[in-house]
Structure 1
Amino acid sequence: MKQLDVTTTMTTIPFVSRKETQSALQKELDNSPYKIVVLDDDPTGIQTVHGISVYTDWEKDSIKQGFSEENSMFFILTNSRSFTEKETTTAHEEIAKRVQEVSDEENIPYVIISRGDSTLRGHYPLETEVLKDTIEANSAVSFDGEVIIPFFKEGGRFTIDNVHYVQDGDVLVPAGQTEFAKDRTFGFQSSHLGEWVEEKTEGRFTKEQTIYISLDDLRHQRVEKIKDQLLKASSFQKIVVNAVGYEDVEVFSTAFLQALKAGKQFLCRSAAALTKVLGGIPDKALLTRQDLVDAGTTNGGLIAVGSHVQKTTQQLGHLLESGLVKGIEFDVHLVLDEEKFQNETKRVRLACEEAIANGQSVVYYTRRERLDLGENMKEEELKLSVKISDAVTSIVKDLQVKPSYIVAKGGITSSSIGTEGLSVKRADVMGQVKPGIPVWKTGEESKFPGSAYVIFPGNVGQPKTLKDVVEVLEGK
């Protein structure tokens, strides 16, 4: 598949007024009885929203609290991208049963969004199939279709003519040709989403059986036509949504809510854009240092970098070159020697504490070369990566001094630091410090209550974006 020029491609797509698309959607949202429950496989799915609760467990009480909130949407952080298949299955069975129980008890209908990576990595189709099977076994629900919408504008992820693209500078690269498709745990080959579905489901669902919502219909606001496509869905049929802007998601969501009202049942597998639209979340200005850092603090900040994607390594390099922070490399390859690994973990923590207490911000980062155990060792590598993640997290958990801010780079890293390192049970989403880079305000139960915790996805931003974020936090 060919790469596309961004400017040329976008100028050929018809304009549509967001005022019109938002007005039509708002009428449906105003009359929608549904609670939107978002299951986030790492903490980065909140990268388009604000004023929303994130729960870091799925106890029934937490789910009940989410259903009782005035907001129409809440998030449950599963962190399942770091789970084995067995752990993922268990978690999603538990969540599905409890969500259905609470829905029945409170008499509130719901829609589940399984929020996955905009570059198509994750436990798919496992997560949505477990949700489907569990809900159907515990209710009268029978799912007609599964909506697939990996569009995420802030990260440069677009779906055009059913092909999913990742923006790299001035070009759009088919997702199957990116480094993300070579992921050792969640790799794939297909960029055409119908073919991707066929690949991931091992032919149980084919590209010919897939329903496609076209950009042409979305741009011309053919809501009735799109609704008719949705009404024809059956037997958990896959529904691929093309999108290059929020306008497309708004038009689709209008038709989607109308189809729900007509009695259809859907699960959604999406990136972060759909959550913002179905949650009715308005735009908000980017956060500033004044929003994020206590004026009186003299301590330095803390940045943790765990993600190994090339984009993260580039961003880390620019941050280190800037001289804004002190850099400390964490040699995680020592994980193969228990004693050496414990000593290395302690060394890094003590060095971070010293810098922070002296008013110097610090970044600690995992050794950039991947630990490679060889062929057919995916599960073993995943387990080792969890052990490494635990050590990265322990540095925050055991920290004896409060940083002025905390940034975590990478989905698994940020999830572990948030839930284990900072002991957050419920957080408020403050907004974004840069497009696609969200910030939690930690709860009173956490290690550092009321702190700004910046969740920086591994695959978001340009080479200098991490440096730019730190400049905001440092007031530079």
Structure 2
Amino acid sequence: MSSNKVLAKEVFDKIPAVDVKVVDELLTKELLELDKKIIVLDDDPTGVQTVHDVSVYTDWSKESIEKGFMEENAMFFILTNSRGFTAEETEKAHKEIALNITEVAKNLNKDFIVISRSDSTLRGHYPLETKVLKETIEANSEVKYNGEVLMPFFKEGGRFTVDNVHYVQYDEYLVPAGETEFAKDRTFGYTKSQLGEYIEEKTNGEFKASNTTYISLQDIRNLAIDSITEQLLKVDNFNKVAVNAVDYVDVKIVTIALIRAIKAGKNFMYRSAAALTKVIGGVSDKGLLTRDELIKEETNNGGLIVVGSHVQKTTEQLEELKKVDFIEFIEFNCHLVLEPEKFTAEVDRIIEKCEDLISSGKTVAVYTRRERLDLGEGKKEEELKLSVKISDAVTSIVTRLKVRPNYVVAKGGITSSDVGTKGLQVKRATVAGQIKPGIPVWRTGAESKYPGISYVIFPGNVGTKTTLREAVEVLNNK
């Protein structure tokens, strides 16, 4: 563990409290005056982990975007799943999305805000995605962006930004993000935890830490909304704004200032974790979902759990899940991907076993072999391509399944995206809410393979050791 870790309690105890009621009143007033459609581009399906009763579209056709614009709701999500893309694929997708948004917005004469929702541990195609969005929107509309707001705070996952440093909580300690396993990501690695330095590192020096505007917790907790607004009004040349936050109230206060800056003529692009979307989208708090809300239609079939993510937390949660006696476990030897015939036979074996067990009332957990496939140095793209093949195979388990499970749980961002879009063939889902903090549930649309089923999207890096087991117990607790 990191040498720079700090005790969470010591950090939080130093931060002054603030009157949430006053803040909520101010925010409600500002949100009423924000007449813009909020479009959240989600680079994996876990970004809806703070909202409920919001639509998620799994494609970015003009037709889907228009449906989103026409909804009563202020906000809708588009699942891009771009964290599973190559840089080339994500650039192409974001150009298409930006073009379609600007065209639909023009036709409907409606203003919009785009939020690029990504990982609270700072992984993903940054700065590529927001840069492409900015350039494409500017080239095809009257909109000009003054700056970009970075807000990776995500309370439910234990991600906090203090003194401009982004932390990940492990038990009672806060560890700088750059010193965690997430920063060692094969595709999206980084070394810096101070947000301005992270920006400088990721943009290869194009945007400097010294030019970053920092919104301090001191100003936030002093309710210095005017001076925060002043800071925002000075941002130009697409320079970056780093937001400190340890609680939702901090996001609310900054959002008030942001809306005031927007009303004064400023335009921002946003790269954030899931907290900002809940606040700026005006989504109310809602309790965790109960079994009655989750299982609308009882069957005698078992559930299906698919575990893909390889982060340490997922492996720990899987070990804990194995203590449950009502689940049958099937290991998928994904390393056979290097031997195509054996790989096909392995997938067939798993599907046959799932069919038998689920239809006999047993819940099944299929999990990929825990060791990472390592092809050695300099093989990042090849590894990514193989991981896509593995992901496709995992998805095909759901696609080819003939029996309807009682529910579906997918663990890991890319896994849950593929299972939702390809396996369950969802075009539009409604977010029912959360089964545990930070763990969203989709109610699938009429067009999907299993209409109206509860689909639990379990991020790879959220929850404690026991959270996966507890979520599955809620689903089975008749």
State the TM bucket, normalised to the shorter chain: over 0.9
| Secondary structure in 2 matching 1:304 | strand
Q: 1:55 to 1:295 in 2, by over 3 A?
A: closer
Selected match of 2:101 from 99, 102, 112: 99
1:62-461 equivalences under 5 Å are: 62-294=64-296, 296-461=298-463
- Higher mean displacement: 138-147 or 58-67: 138-147
Per-residue CA distance 1:364-398 (angstroms, 9 max, x = gap): 00000000011111111111111100000000000
Equivalent residue, structure 1, for 2:59: 57
Q: Mind listing any 5+ residue stretches in structure 2 that lack a counterpart?
A: none
Aligned residue type for 1:135? I
Distance 1:458 1:78 in 2: 18
Task: State the alpha-carbon separation in 2 of the partners of residues 319 and 104 from structure 1.
Answer: 50
How many Å separate the matches in 1 of 2:266 and 2:382? 41
User: Tell me, what secondary structure is at the counterpart of 1:208?
Assistant: helix
Q: Is the 8 A contact 2:158 2:169 kept in 1?
A: yes
Amino acid at match of 1:450: G
SS at match of 2:331: strand
For 1:373, the aligned partner's letter is L
Q: How many residues align?
A: 476
Amino acid corresponding to residue 471 of structure 1 in structure 2: E
Note the alpha carbon deviations across 1:279-321, whole angstroms, 9 max, x for none: 0000001001111114531110000000000000000000012
Q: Single out whichever of 119-128 and 290-299 deviates more from structure 2.
A: 290-299
CA distance in 1, matches of 2:444, 2:297: 18
Matches of 1:440 and 1:167, distance apart in 2: 27
Structure 2 distance, partners of 1:296, 1:176, is 46
Deviation at 1:139, TM superposition (A): 1.4
Deviations 1:46-95 (A, max 9, x none): 00000100000000000011001000000000000000001000000000
Task: Give the whole-Å Cα distance in 1 for the aligned partners of 2:155 and 2:474.
Answer: 22
Q: Post-superposition shift, 1:31?
A: 1.2
Amino acid at match of 1:116: S
SS in 2 for 1:240: strand
Decide whether the 8 Å contact of 1:147 with 1:240 is kept in 2: yes
Distance in 2, matches of 1:228 and 1:290, equals 48
State the AA in 2 paired with 1:351: K
2 CA distance for matches of 1:23 and 1:312?
A: 40
Counterpart pick for 1:25 among 27, 41, 49? 27
Letter in 2 for 1:16: V
Displacement after TM superposition at 1:322 (Å): 2.5
Structure 1 CA distance for aligned equivalents of residues 116 and 366 of structure 2: 31
For 2:473 and 2:143, the matched residues in 1 are separated by 50
Inter-partner Cα distance in structure 2 for 1:283 and 1:197: 32
Matched letter for residue 360 of structure 1: K
Between the two proteins, what is the percent identity of the paired residues?
Answer: 61
Contact 2:298 2:406 in 1 (8 A): no
Q: Matched residues in 2 for 1:441 and 1:298: separation?
A: 20
Match of residue 9 from structure 1: 11
**Runs of 4 or more above 4 Å deviation:** none
Q: In structure 2, the residue corresponding to 1:321 is in which secondary structure?
A: coil
Which digits, 9 at most, give the CA deviation of each residue in 1:8-50, with x for residues without a partner?
1111110012211111111010111111000000000000000
CA displacement at 1:221 relative to structure 2: 1.1
Is 1:468 the counterpart of 2:474 in the alignment? no
Give me the whole-angstrom Cα distance separating, in 1, the residues matched to 2:56 and 2:113. 17
The separation in 1 between residues aligned to 2:297 and 2:420, in whole angstroms, is 23
Conserved in 2, the CA contact under 8 Å of 1:294 and 1:404?
Answer: no
Q: Secondary structure, in 3 states, of the residue corresponding to 1:322?
A: coil
Could you give the per-residue CA deviations for residues 425-447 of structure 1, whole angstroms, max 9, x where no partner exists?
Answer: 00000000000000000000000
Q: Which is further off, 84-93 or 6-15?
A: 6-15
C-alpha separation between the residues in 2 aligned to 1:69 and 1:327?
42
Name the CA distance, whole Å, in 2 between partners of 1:92 and 1:27.
33
Give the TM-score taking structure 1 as reference length: 0.99
Distance 1:180 1:306 in 2: 16
- The more displaced of 45-54 and 289-298 is 289-298
Distance 2:383 2:465 in 1: 28
The normalised TM-score by structure 2 is 0.99
> Deviation at 1:140?
2.1
Counterpart contact for 2:54–2:76, Cα < 8 Å: yes
The superposition leaves residues 245-303 of structure 1 with CA deviations (integer Å, 9 ceiling, x where unpaired) of 00000000000001111110110000000000000000001001111114531110000
